Structure 1
Amino acid sequence: MTLRSIRNLTLLLGAAVAGGCTVFPNPEPPRVMDLAVVQTAPAAEQRIQASLRVDTPYASEPFNGSLILAKPTPQEFRAYEGTRWRDTAPVVVRDTLVSSLRQSGAYTNVITDTNPAQAELTLVTELSAFHSETPESGPQVVIELHLQMIHNRSRASLCTRTERVVEPAPGTSVDQIVEAFGTAGSDLAARVIEWATRCDYPSRLRPSPETDQPRQP
């Protein structure tokens, strides 16, 4: 390339940048997906007389990112191209649990770990699966969450459980996979609410029979 050609190319690039253009095409922005819970959380039979803090789940690679993951073989993870979750997978799961727990009325208040307010209880979780699979039976999504309820004052563990939800997907497209994630998220939230309200709480946090009865005039 001659010196004159280099100068002409430099002038062309400068004009393109000045005009708000680029010589190289911009990549398409990724689609941003959410975990759309498909059913209303069931109402709790009794309200625990305590506030609950829901911590963001602990997670290791690759579940601590925002990629929508597939696991085509037991040894390999892949990501769906051109899409991602609206936030990291642990945050998406946390927000789903918080929303469902609030709807259920199981606690006097439900907050996230970003809220500076005090709480009597903390739900600590570990996310160990959040991906799609394609076994011979057909495509499915898997969510696995280990749960532990902590009494903040004593730091005692009141109850523990591991929930694993497997939800069939109607197909292998990213929209069908995300749809199945929404159904699985609803199932997971319902299981967590049922489990959490049955923990071995201190008696003062349990509603007494008198509080459930209407007051006499």
Structure 2
Amino acid sequence: MIRHRILLALAMTLPLAGCGSILKLPGGEPAAHYMLRPAPAREVEAPLPVVIMIAEPDASAALDSNRVALKPSDLELQYYAGARWVDRATRMLQNHLIAALSGTVKDVGTEAMTLAADYRVQTNLAAFEAVYDGNKIPTVRVVLEAKLFSRTPLALRERRTFRAEVAAASDKQAAIINAFDRATAEVTNEFVDWVLAGVKERR
């Protein structure tokens, strides 16, 4: 009797597991976990003698997730069924930005190095989604709002919003993820240039 109740409870919960997934993956490919390509290493004569802390980006609850987001319209946000990032989008992006800056400065890392940091960067991930707007093939939109703070004196030094839109080559899963990767790479490249320029100006 107990076993019967357990099986019945499991059967009742199984349909709920898919309720959060709105759309099937385009192309009918199996579900998978995805990551961003590492930014290429930058050639520098010598790392800048500063320590930078990159905070995990703020984001809405809808984007602070490992689910791959899409927007069928301006007023609606959904997720690809079964598609996942390897980590929450905010933490994945934080690690991506840190890796992109590695080698260009004395040290760069997460909130764990706050006390040692000469500069800190706070960001807000305002958009990280595939936008359809009635089209069959989406355009990936990435928007990152950033602020650069100095420690001595403690002050807001720079602020900037980085935007990138990359049209997917097709409605296939791999093409859409590749568009996410390209849009993020564009934002990351501009972000690194901005951080390094801001730090150099105040040395």
Say yes or no: TM over 0.5: yes
Report SS of the residue matched to 1:77. Answer: strand
Report SS of the residue matched to 1:68. Answer: strand
Distance 1:122 1:23, change over 3 A: closer
Instruction: Give the root-mean-square deviation of aligned CA atoms.
Output: 2.9
Contact 1:58 1:90 in 2 (8 A): yes
> TM-score with structure 1 length normalisation?
0.74
What are the ranges of 5 or more consecutive residues in structure 2 without an aligned counterpart? Answer: 19-29
Distance 1:64 1:12, change over 3 A: closer
Contact 1:49 1:108 in 2 (8 A): yes
Deviation per CA, 1:122-179, whole angstroms, max 9, x where unpaired?
A: 0111110000012459421111001111112322112111000111212223322111
- In the other structure, the counterpart of 1:131 is 129
- In the other structure, the counterpart of 2:175 is 176
Superposition misfits of 4+ residues, deviation over 4 angstroms = 22-30, 135-138, 200-203
- In the other structure, the counterpart of 1:43 is 43
Q: Does residue 1:99 correspond to 2:95, yes or no?
A: no
Larger helix share, 1 or 2: 2
Partner Cα distance (1:11, 1:161) in 2: 60
Deviation per CA, 1:25-65, whole angstroms, max 9, x where unpaired?
A: 9779963221224x514335764321111100011121112
- In the other structure, the counterpart of 1:149 is 148
User: 1:169-208, aligned counterparts within 5 Å?
Assistant: 169-199=168-198, 203=202, 205=203
Partner Cα distance (1:124, 1:40) in 2: 23
Contact 2:33 2:84 in 1 (8 A): yes
Which piece of structure 1 moves more, 169-178 or 79-88?
A: 169-178
- In the other structure, the counterpart of 2:27 is none
Partner Cα distance (1:187, 1:145) in 2: 11
How many residues align? The count is 187
Contact 1:41 1:189 in 2 (8 A): no
Partner Cα distance (1:140, 1:154) in 2: 42
Larger strand share, 1 or 2: 2
2:32 maps to amino acid: R
Q: CA deviation at 1:202?
A: 6.3
- In the other structure, the counterpart of 1:110 is 108
Max Rg structure: 1
2:85 maps to amino acid: W
Distance 1:55 1:159, change over 3 A: same
1:113 maps to amino acid: E
Identity of aligned residues (%): 21
- In the other structure, the counterpart of 1:67 is 67
What are the ranges of 5 or more consecutive residues in structure 1 without an aligned counterpart? Answer: 1-9, 206-217
Contact 1:41 1:186 in 2 (8 A): no
